[in-house]
Structure 1
Amino acid sequence: MSQRDKTLRASNTCRWLLLLLWAVCMPTWAEQLMPAPSEWRQAEELRRYDYSLTELGFPQSVLLRGSESSAGLSFGSRLDELVEEATLDLGFSFSPSLVPHLSHLKVYLNGEFMSAVAVDPEKRLQQKVSIPLNTRYLADFNQVRVQLVGQPPEECYSPDSPSIWAELTGDTRLRTVSRVLPVANNLQQLPAPFFDRRDYRALQLPVVLTGEGSLERLHAAGIVTSWFGALASWRGASFPVETERLPKQHALVFMTNTQRPSALQDFPPVSAPTLQMISHPENPAAKLLLIQGRDDADLVQAARGLVLGSELLSGP
């Protein structure tokens, strides 16, 4: 056998060994990164959201002054959801001075043209249309831009003329339908999914405190909720407290080896301050962030570790 044949044979052997190694290890890597297939099936549910004009960043109405003026309505797409449908219910009024067949509103989603709405001569001051938005153009952070193209009857006019205006009324709404996506139990994605910066709504994150509330336990809860509240910033935040029941949504659970919710009584005890992300026992699409310790003093250390070192965490 020539040296070249020996080299090719060795190379082929290495390839087969690598393929065998990949076949053996790949299931283990996949199990660490992805939820089990049963969790995918159980998590297939839809969530429907209805955003008012105020929740989209504006007061009761939005006035567009001058031709080419526009307003941007902002919303986000959560890490654990896939938006399958989106509809803009656009309520608006046009200036009586605008020429119907030349004046209109243009609607864009993330810079992509979606639709145009012309002036209806019979309904200038009260119109409403539903515009489907193509979800293929959605990203983590999204903007629906409504632009006015206004034409007064005069042949010579200024684009900034006070007679050129349109108003988005308070019954403007954005409706979305999202499919819940299971996410891996991985601390590396913190603060998500418990707080998702893509979500512009107020944060509501339940806290489970079982047993007698000592000062140290309340201290630990205060550290963690203050951190999440600071992350929520302008959105606002609330932290409803449960003493025994596990809320069927993303939640924080503070527990020691002796004081824990009944649903987690069989959970293994810990020997040091511990942080762990698990799937909800009754709702696999929801995650529980366990702040654990042997006693309440350990809970304070675990809480500080979460707040000060979350960027260094990984794995479940």
Structure 2
Amino acid sequence: MIPMARWPSVALALFLSVATAPLTGCGSDGDSSSSGPTSNTGGAGGAGGAGGAGAGEPGLADHLLITELMISNDPAEFVEIWNPTNAEVDLSDYYLSDNGDYHRITSGQPFVLAGSPGLDFLVQFPAGTKIAPGATLTLAGHAGFEAQHKRCADFAFTNIPVPCGGGTTPMMREPQHGALGTKAGLLTNDGEMLVLFQWSGVVGELVKDVDYVAWGEDLGASEVVNKTNVPGYLAEVDPNLQSHAALPAPGQSLERCVIEPGETDKGGNGILGHDETSEQLAEAFRVTTSPTPGATNPCLPTR
């Protein structure tokens, strides 16, 4: 496979517009578990392109999920996203952030992080990126990803070049009011949050949460999702009552094994009305000593 970093920009744009499986990153090892199955469906299903269940067998869930993340040691950092639905999902208006002020992107004002400058990020998927049913995407947060995991990531959420099979891993987009990470080791080792969300790009329109994970204890205001009392949003679970995943040790990762246990599926700020802050994350995720970026977690249910 030709490294994506070497493709002409026109060819890359064409590839993104017609791809029916997630990008495997330049220099991918070609393992089918990394790229997932090819989609045979046309377009994303569900509300707002959320990839909800369409015709035929229902999916394992009705929206994308964060299924694995590694926060330490820093060179091995990654985030994995899985499509458990039965429809291809267009990620052009999907974003990822590790800062509780992510919803401010809708204001049209500069994104001023409440956390750690350079370490916090708010990034958008490149236009035309799609993820097939059952497939995964892996995002790297450190230049050492390939050396640590012996494969390439699909995207990088840092502006520090991430090597990829002799080239460079494609970067996530830095939206007008967002930010790529500018330092190494972006995911905080002692506790933080990560939120996948959708936004139309229209100033004033609300964000829609897709999935949310928080790990560790005693998290600060910028390290949890809490849009209660923010105009336009419904009340969310008090940060002091939210369930958090365990804190993995260096070399370990957090691996999702249960699909959103305890989550309220109505009356929330989620893409399909879910309240993502109500999920019992301590039950949903386990610590594993064998990280598997790009491969569907063996502990998850299958079709």
Same fold by TM-score, threshold 0.5 exceeded? no
Q: Write 1 or 2 for the structure with the bigger share of helix.
A: 1
Larger radius of gyration: 1
TM-score (normalised: structure 1):
0.21
Q: Write 1 or 2 for the structure with the bigger share of strand.
A: 1
